Amino acid sequence: MHISDIDKAIVEGLRQFGVLRDVDGHQLNQRDGAIVVACSDGDQLHDIFANHAALQSARQNPRIHLLGGHGGALKIPEKSPILKPGRTTDLDLIDEIFEAQDLKGITTVVLYTHTPCGKAYGVDLNFLQVIALQMAAKSRLKALAAESSRVIKVACFAHVHHADGRRRTYYICKEAWKRFQPAEDDGDRDSAEVA
């Protein structure tokens, strides 16, 4: 599977607008490790995981608690188009994230999306729609965490397999995304970014 033409243009625009930024590892608080939620895509997960592991290279004991399945963070928003009717996929993944917190004492959650993603392309999502869902996932996680008085920090990363073969991981700057999408209001007033 190759990146679509529209996603190529979207990635280029998001890079120019500063929404997709080069990852600056030291700004991500991984003192206790990270719960990483990523799509299981067999062609991309190795690169996603390897890059994330490199962000913890300063640790003597890297701690990456990996969750995801098909679509990864896209499974979290209520009414996400990748959710199948009659199932509790979103609630099950959210439950596992909070359970991981309880089991491992990790407070940093890193949500990944990627392009090209078969799960996203299967329901005709372009990468702008994917990132909008990723932000909705972050908002839902933080709202549910607040309801149960959980301490949680959520960062959003994106992985791109470019048409020329390069694979790159980017940090998504929420403030730049809001400027890029002025009509977007995810109801999340908490500006306490992980970065």
User: In angstroms, rounded to a whole number, what is the distance separating the alpha carbons of residues 133 and 139?
Assistant: 10
What letter represents residue 77's amino acid? Answer: P
Closest CB to Zn ion among residues 159, 174:
159
- Is 117 near Zn ion (CB under 5 A)? yes
* C-alpha distance from residue 153 to each of 3, 4, 78, 187, 190 (Å): 30, 32, 20, 16, 11
Stretch that binds Zn ion, among 10-18, 34-42, 134-142, 179-187 (CB under 5 A): 34-42
- Is 41 near Zn ion (CB under 5 A)? yes
Stretch that binds Zn ion, among 30-38, 39-47, 143-151, 175-183 (CB under 5 A): 39-47
Q: What is the chain's alpha carbon radius of gyration, rounded to the nearest angstrom?
A: 16
Q: 3-class DSSP state for residue 137? A: helix
Q: How far is the CB of 82 from Zn ion (least distance, A)?
A: 9
Residue list 126-185, contact with Zn ion (CB under 5 A): none
Closest CB to Zn ion among residues 119, 140:
119
